Amino acid sequence: MNPITRFVGVVAGLAMLGACSIASEIDTVRRMPVKGDAFQQALHAEYVKLATIEDEKMVADGKKVDPTAMKERKIPKNAEDELEAARIALVAVLRGGGPKKAPAQTALAQAMFDCWMEEQEENNQPKDIALCRNAFDAALKRAEAALAERPAPTTAQAAMPTAGPYVVYFAFNSAKLDAKATATINEAAAAAKSAKVSISGHTDRAGANDYNMRLSRDRANAVAAALVKAGVAKANIARSHHGEERPAVATEDGKKEPRNRRVEITVK
């Protein structure tokens, strides 16, 4: 059994053991037919695992349930930035078609984000925090990958020219855009007009794999936000991030390489 599945099962089990008086209500909600679409059905299943009764009822009734807002939890200061960035990335997937194109993975990402928030607020079980965070990262990555996939082009589409890639470079351990990066993004936005744009975030091989994956996501998100500000429709932007897995320049593990700290923008 997957360790995340075991963990979520334990969470649900403890919730029921600690609140026997509502056990029958939990069971009733879990048996309710779900009126929503595939995403809402998957999200209901994930909230069932987490035994979040209020959210289960709303989802089962076909109502919208947003990821936990930062203000709803007392998050330790040292974890606020990471969780805020994660929520921004999750909302981008939710609004960018994730519930339709990758319902199961998008639902799992939202449920694991809420799990992460809850465990981070308690802040006394590092392993449980890591389990929820890692499950969120993995599910979000798969949902983002699904959004980045495009159907095979028709003959007419295949004839359309591709512009770029425009490459935006970053300072070490940073997702901030400097003046040169902004100029590159504006150039890509001018070429895009109403076209589709795909962006992919990358890092060099210095640092831990998990951290680099999150950093590449933050870089992709920063470029996407700048493209929208420059006039590209958010719906026309597909994002992906690959951490240190696809270097432009091959290096040994742990080596800093400026040409690998990048986001590539392709306009079709």
Q: For position 9, what pLDDT does the model report? A: 44
Domains of the chain: 3-148 (no CATH), 162-267 (3.30.1330.60)
Angle made by CA atoms 26, 29, 32, in degrees to the nearest 5: 150
Q: For position 38, what pLDDT does the model report? A: 84
Q: For position 162, what pLDDT does the model report? A: 61
* pTM beyond cutoff 0.85: no
Q: For position 5, what pLDDT does the model report? A: 41
Q: For position 68, what pLDDT does the model report? A: 83
Regions of the chain with pLDDT less than 70: 1-32, 34, 45, 47-63, 150-163
Q: For position 153, what pLDDT does the model report? A: 58
Q: For position 161, what pLDDT does the model report? A: 55
Q: For position 13, what pLDDT does the model report? A: 41
Q: For position 137, what pLDDT does the model report? A: 92
pLDDT in tens, 84-128: 888 988 988 998 888 999 999 998 899 889 889 989 999 988 998
